[in-house]
Amino acid sequence: MRVGKPVPALPQPSCDYCGVRASITRYGDESYPYRKDQGPLWICTACQAWIGIHSRSRRNVPLGRLANAALRDAKSRLHDALEPLVAGKVRRDGVNAFEARAKAIRWVATELGFDPLPPSIHALTAEQCEQALRYVEAFIESRRSGHGSV
Domain assignment present for residue 50? The answer is yes
The one-letter amino acid at 125:
T
Q: Please indicate, yes or no, whether residues 21 and 57 belong to a single structural domain of this protein.
A: yes
Are residues 6 and 33 both part of a single domain? yes
Cβ(135)–Cβ(142) below 8 Å: no
Q: Are residues 10 and 45 in the same domain?
A: yes
Express each pLDDT in 79-122 by its tens digit: 999 999 999 999 999 999 999 999 999 999 999 999 888 878 88
| Beta strand spans in the chain (E) | 23-25, 41-44, 49-52
- Residue 17: what pLDDT? 93
- What is the pTM (predicted TM-score) of this model? 0.80
Distance CA 140, CA 150 (A): 9
Digit-coded pLDDT (tens) for 11-56:
789 998 999 999 999 888 988 888 777 889 999 999 999 998 988 8
- Which of 66, 84, 115 is where one domain is finished? 66
**135 three-class SS:** helix
Residues 6+ apart with CB under 8 A from 78: 121, 124, 129, 132, 133, 136
Give buried/exposed letters for 95-119 (b at 16+ CB in 10 A, else e).
eeeeebbbebbebbbeeeebeeebe
Note whether 76 and 61 are same-domain residues: no
Instruction: Please check whether residue 150 lies inside any domain of the structure.
Output: no
**Assigned domain for 9 exists:** yes
Task: Give the range of the structural domain holding residue 14, as residue numbers without chain letter.
Answer: 1-66
Q: Using the 3D structure, point to which of 47, 66, 85 is the last residue of a domain.
A: 66
Q: Which of 35, 66, 97 is the last residue of a domain?
A: 66
| pLDDT top residue among 19 and 58 | 19
61 and 87 belong to one structural domain: no
Domain check: are 132 and 110 in the same one?
Answer: yes
Residue burial 23-46, b: 16+ Cβ < 10 Å; e: rest: eebeeeeeebeeeeeeebbbbbee
Residue 60: exposure state from Cβ atoms within 10 A (0-12, 13-18, ≥19): middle
